[in-house]
Copies of this chain bind each other. A is one copy, B any other.
Amino acid sequence: MLNLPGYAEQVRSNHDFVKLGERVDHSCLIVAGVVGRFDQDSQGNRQIIALHIPGDMADLHSAVQPEVTSALQALSTTTIVRIPHSAILSAARTYPTLGEALWRDCMADSAILAEWVFNVGRRDAKKRIAHLICEIAVRVGAAPANGMIMFPFPLTQTHVGDAAALTPVHVNRTVQALRREGLVDIGKNVKINDWGGLVAAADFDDRYLHLSTKPKRVPLIH
Name A's B-contacting residues (CB within 8 A): 37, 39, 41-43, 45, 47, 49-50, 61, 64-65, 67, 69-70, 89, 92-93, 96-97, 99-100, 102-104, 106-111, 113-118, 120-123, 164-165, 203, 205, 207-208, 210, 213
Contact = CB atoms under 8 A, between A and B. Distances in A.
A110 B108 contact: no
Contact of A100 (B64, B165, B207): B64
Given A42-B205, A113-B117, A122 B47 contact: yes
A123 B70 CA distance: 17
Copies of this polypeptide in the complex: 2
B61 A118 contact: no
Given A61-B107, A107-B61, A108-B65, A89 B99 contact: no
Contacts of A117: 39, 47, 49, 113, 116-117, 120
Contacts of A120: 117, 120-121, 165
7 contacts: A39-B115, A42-B205, A47-B121, A49-B114, A99-B100, A110-B110, A120-B121
Nearest to A205: B42
Nearest to A89: B100
Contacts of A107: 61, 64-65, 106
Given A65-B104, A92-B96, A103-B64, A113 B110 contact: yes
A164 B118 CA distance: 10
Contacts of A37: 114
A114 B50 contact: yes
A196 B97 CA distance: 46
A113 B115 contact: no
A204 B15 CA distance: 26
A26 to B, nearest CB: 16
A67 B212 CA distance: 10
A122 B41 contact: yes
Given A39-B114, A117-B120, 19 more contacts: A37-B114, A39-B115, A41-B122, A41-B205, A47-B121, A50-B114, A64-B104, A64-B107, A65-B107, A67-B210, A67-B213, A69-B207, A92-B99, A93-B96, A96-B99, A106-B110, A113-B113, A120-B120, A121-B164
